[in-house]
Amino acid sequence: MKSLLRIATGGFLLATAATVFYSCQTKVQGEEKEKTKTPAVATALLQVDSTAIPNDKFGKEVKYGQQLMYNTAYYIGPEGINGKYLGNKMNCTNCHQQGGTKPFSFNLMLSHEDYPQYRAREGKVLTLAERVNNCVTRPHNGRPLPLDSKEMVAFLSYFRWINSFVPKDKPFKGQKNLSVTLPDIAANPEHGALLYEQHCARCHGKEGEGQLRPDQLTYTYPPLWGKYGYQPGSSMHRIIKQAQWLKANMPYDKATWDKPFLSDAEAMDIAAFVNDDSRHQRPDVKNFDYPHMEEKALDYDKGPFADTFSVAQHKFGPYQPVIDYWKAKGMKASY
């Protein structure tokens, strides 16, 4: 009984520990704040302890959800043992690293409480389940999971569980992406190609094809372009978004969010090369994203646009003139 209780409350205790740690930090900050009136800065680094998953029915769903994050292709890939949903053999954790808990790696620890949410890409409010299916269809090139499927319930249970480690009232470190300074000139795919050869090809391959694991079920190094990688219309296909992620996370064995390996300009050039479809001939997806063009992300590379700039400038920059134009019209450019 005693040990059962310990397991069942383990997550809560840990979450409390994180909160306590957090409030110590903010206390100091709060004092500073009073003196300087600077806005609260996210200082808490959150940790999730998988041994604290409760040993009950909910915990069972959480565990399967965690498995799905890490071994997505094995369970629901093109030859998935529990259903064939994904069109490629990538795993969620390839981008949402450490099962969506790594800071600055498209962290998912707030998702449970952030939905339902208005999404500009669809021009409507989406539930978290619908948002999960967005990633299943793009970047995973798949078909949506039924909303009441065991897999969807598991994903949602897992997101709820990782959210229990988040302090309720304060921001935490790494929930948002690292920012990159937008260069005054367009991102340069030719320069990106050289950098790719130097820093990325040893794992992701000369043709961005990645490297399948010996069992062929998924990748040791996931692909970056071609028909088995993420498609246009995925957020990773946007240059600013990808550069922010690369800065914190790649090269895999060299970069950390607090010690990035690539400069901002290098990350932009590499993202421009990786996402240059004139070179890489990605299969196109027909899509009707952003029904309201004044809500379209700045670095989205399909028109029509609510301004007079070219597709190329939206894709590669320079972005500042576009931002200024929008500002002058009283609109807010987002990316």
Report the interface residues with ligand HEC, using CB under 6 A: 72, 90, 92-97, 106, 108, 110-111, 114, 131-132, 135-136, 139-140, 155, 177, 199-200, 202-204, 221-224, 229-230, 234-236, 241, 246, 250-253, 262, 270, 274
- Shortest spacing between CB 28 and ligand HEC, in angstroms: 29
- Shortest spacing between CB 284 and ligand HEC, in angstroms: 17
- Shortest spacing between CB 223 and ligand HEC, in angstroms: 6
Judged by beta carbon, residue 21 or residue 221, the one nearer ligand HEC is 221
Tokens of 78: 């093109």
- Shortest spacing between CB 289 and ligand HEC, in angstroms: 13
Contact 292, 123 (CB under 8 A): yes
Judged by beta carbon, residue 18 or residue 240, the one nearer ligand HEC is 240
Burial of 190 (0-12, 13-18, 19+ CB in 10 A): exposed
3-state percent helix, strand, coil for the chain, nearest multiple of 5? 45, 5, 50
d(CA 262, CA 140): 27
Tokens of 231: 């498609």
Judged by beta carbon, residue 33 or residue 143, the one nearer ligand HEC is 143
d(CA 177, CA 121): 19
Judged by beta carbon, residue 26 or residue 242, the one nearer ligand HEC is 242
Name the nearest CA neighbour of 48 among 172, 178, 179.
172
- Shortest spacing between CB 62 and ligand HEC, in angstroms: 14
Judged by beta carbon, residue 10 or residue 205, the one nearer ligand HEC is 205
Q: Which helix or strand (DSSP H or E) is residue 117 part of?
A: strand 117-119
Judged by beta carbon, residue 54 or residue 260, the one nearer ligand HEC is 260
Residue identified by tokens 């957090």 is 22
List the beta bridge partners of residue 219.
Answer: 212
The residues near 32 (Cβ < 8 Å, ≥ 6 apart) are 38
- Shortest spacing between CB 108 and ligand HEC, in angstroms: 6
